[in-house]
Amino acid sequence: MLTAILALGILAGLFGMLLGYAAIRFHVESDPIVDQIDAILPQTQCGQCGYPGCRPYAEAIARGEADINQCPPGGEAGIRALADLLGRDYKPLNEEHGEHKGKRVAIIHEELCIGCTLCIQACPVDAILGAAKHMHTVIESECTGCELCVDPCPVDCIEMVPVKPDIQEWKWPSPEERRMDIAAAPEQEAAG
């Protein structure tokens, strides 16, 4: 018994040293500009930009293969931040990739859910809990609002709803936004 424990301890030490050597020897430095671009992107992993996630899109921007205006979830603020970081001119969002809808989160109408698990398979960030033939629910704090779970749902029980800003996300509207809100108010009252 003591021999087995000793042998396992020696093997564990050897494998630990081997892993430590491999980590040092084969360490790959990431490009700092890619890290900075990736930090600006919204991390929705939605693929609307034409890339499978935010990191591949950041790498493509850094290589000059993708433009800075392909991320609908990032919106105008994201494009401006990327333009400032990279010293490029601002461009409006490329509508070919979608439109900016603001931060949203998926809600599953649990009374309609049949437990097919298609939404779980589609979620790139594992924000949906459930099991086969049981209702599913969304962990709202983990949901990025990518909308990838909506189309696979065969019973249309998933709805995307806007996230109400809390005190940490709220910001004063710009004077231009305020003027547009005031100008739109009479039209909304007439339509209502």
Domain limits, the chain: 32-97, 103-164
SS3 147: coil
Whether the predicted pLDDT of 187 surpasses 60: no
Read off φ and ψ for residue 108, nearest 5 degrees: -100, 125
Q: Does domain 32-97 have CATH number 1.10.15.40?
A: yes
pLDDT of residue 22: 81
pLDDT of residue 64: 93
pLDDT, the chain, mean: 88
- Judge whether 32-97 and 103-164 match in fold: no
Q: H or E stretch including 129?
A: strand 128-129
Q: H or E stretch including 12?
A: helix 2-25
Residue 104, strand partner residues: 162
SS3 122: helix
pTM (2 d.p.): 0.67
Q: How far apart are CA 174 and CA 144, in angstroms?
A: 26
Q: Which of 13-22, 89-98, 163-172 is predicted with the least confidence, judged by mean pLDDT?
A: 163-172
SS3 161: strand
Read off φ and ψ for residue 105, nearest 5 degrees: -140, 150
Whether the predicted pLDDT of 38 surpasses 80: yes
- Alpha carbon of 101 to those of 28, 70, 117, 147, 180: distances in Å? 37, 14, 26, 11, 17
* pLDDT 10s digits, 44-96: 999 999 999 999 999 999 999 999 999 999 999 999 999 999 999 999 999 99
* pLDDT 10s digits, 128-159: 999 999 989 999 999 999 999 999 999 999 99
Q: Which residues of 14-50 are buried (b: 16+ CB within 10 A; e: fewer)?
A: eeeeeeeeeeeeeeeeeeeebeebbebbbbbbbbbbe
Per CATH, which fold does 103-164 belong to? Alpha-Beta Plaits (3.30.70)
Q: Which of 146, 161, 158 is nearest to 48 (CA)?
A: 146
- Alpha carbon of 167 to those of 36, 162, 171: distances in Å? 26, 16, 8
Q: How far apart are CA 97 and CA 166, in angstroms?
A: 28
| Top-confidence residue, 185 or 4 | 4
Mention every residue, 6+ apart, whose C-beta is less than 8 A from residue 14: none
